[in-house]
Structure 1
Amino acid sequence: MKLIQGNPGKRKIDKKQASPDALLDVPAPPEWFGEIAAAAWQQVAPWLIEAKILTSTDLHNLEAFCMAYQRWREAQDDITKNGIIVMGAKQKIKNPACTVANETMRQMATFGSALGLDPAARSRLKPGGNQKPNNPFTALRGGKAG
């Protein structure tokens, strides 16, 4: 994780420690996904592969993100169709889909952040593992990385 997310403490990284390799091919979405979750997978997974962010150990985060997105879309459709206020057993109440929409929005933020799908998380990620940036000023510093 330090190689991907950075090493702000600058502690020595144990190179013997097992580290997952970034996936090279986009895996198929799980068979149990609904249409909306599968479409989200097909949209997000290729970018994560290209950015060398997605590893086999991250697939559960991607699954959770896509399912939260599907539930959020379904809740939003219900809110659009039935409104924010619906008739309960005896009186008007807040549409329960509003609660689902809010909860799944938080889940998308959590899982999306873990995958680097928001600007703040993306700035912390250093995709590609051990690659050193090509810095033209390295030679001026005696070949030492800064």
Structure 2
Amino acid sequence: MLKVVVENDAFFDVMKIELQNGIKEVMFKVKGTSMWPFYLDNKTVVYVASPKQLRKYDVVLADYDNQVLLHRIIKIEGSTYTLRGDATYRKEVVDFKDIFAKVTHHQTNKKRSEQSKWYRLTVILWVNNPFRKILLKLRSK
């Protein structure tokens, strides 16, 4: 198998063009820990497509402050979306036009649909867990 390493900026620029030109799906390995516990650094592969319809708790790729974020939608108000990583505290507010892809599936051990009822329930429980901040602090120690 041929392995090619591409810088993130170049990869995401090409991805945006390909998704706009009709490619159905792009997959890549997650880098970073902001989406723990659902996505694991350098282990989880995500599959993304153009964002036709967005709902609260979807994971999206968005341009924010000169970088690309892979974060979860935690609030929608009109065309304004509030995003946050599952393992972060900071919130980012973006417009719909800044979102260029939506995660449809992810795979760490087995491929999982982002829309499955069980997975979405798990996400809702984690995002709204009153002890989430405490658990994140304990994890970072």
TM-score interval (norm. to shorter): under 0.3
User: Larger strand proportion, structure 1 or 2?
Assistant: 2
TM-score, scaled relative to structure 2? 0.23
User: Larger helix proportion, structure 1 or 2?
Assistant: 1
